[in-house]
Amino acid sequence: MTYYADPTEKEIARAKLPHDIFLSNLIGNHILMFTAISTFGPTYMKYLFLVPLISFLALGYTYWRSSKVKREESEFVWAHWQVARRWSRFFMMILVLLVSVSTLGVLGHMYLGMMKEAVYAMIGGLGILPTLVSVLVLIVIESDSLHHARMGTLPKWALKRFLNIEPEPSQDD
């Protein structure tokens, strides 16, 4: 861990917020809500559109709010919002892929006569699988970012990328 400055408790709480929002979206929405809806069977599958909709709202808020945080106020808080913004942008692209593949699958079934099973395979393999893998990987990444925020630190790559500070070499390198 690399220390930048000793942030106050208020700054630590504000730096944790974007990571809390992002992790709540990933765990609560993409894992728990997706599982709850899909467990009820085919009659409730039409409600699965709520998962990416809620996710786009949470990611959009994170993206918007990260552009409003003032760097002059606290670079520590600003850098943590930028970390969350970076991963939000990546996950938003994954969700756009999911929605695009799903839309193409439905249109292919309706207008091109694709078999229902082929559409399920296409949506599952090209849309849902990359989304679920990304969710799991991002949970690990964001948990580490949340840990850094709690400790009052920034990851080395974030120090270099957002604050132009060369991290001190450690024994681990």
CB–CB of 45/74 below 8 Å?
no
Neighbouring C-alpha atoms within 13 Å toward the C-beta of 119: 16
CB–CB of 75/14 below 8 Å?
no
Query: Which pLDDT belongs to residue 118?
Result: 94
Residue ranges of the domains in the chain? 9-163
Query: Which pLDDT belongs to residue 3?
Result: 47
* d(C-alpha 85, C-alpha 66), whole Å: 6
Query: Which pLDDT belongs to residue 2?
Result: 45
Instruction: Give backbone dihedrals phi and psi of 56, rounded to 5 degrees, phi first.
Output: -60, -35
* d(C-alpha 17, C-alpha 146), whole Å: 9
Query: Which pLDDT belongs to residue 45?
Result: 84
Query: Which pLDDT belongs to residue 60?
Result: 95
Count Cβ neighbours within 10 Å for each residue of 161-172 and write b for 16 or more, e otherwise.
Answer: ebbebebeeeee
Is residue 2 classed as helix, strand or coil in its secondary structure? Answer: strand
Query: Which pLDDT belongs to residue 165?
Result: 79
Per-residue pLDDT of the chain (173 residues; tens, 9 = 90+): 444 568 899 999 999 999 999 999 999 999 999 999 989 988 888 898 899 899 999 999 999 999 999 877 788 999 999 999 999 999 999 999 999 999 999 999 999 999 999 999 999 999 999 999 999 999 999 999 999 999 998 888 888 888 777 777 766 55
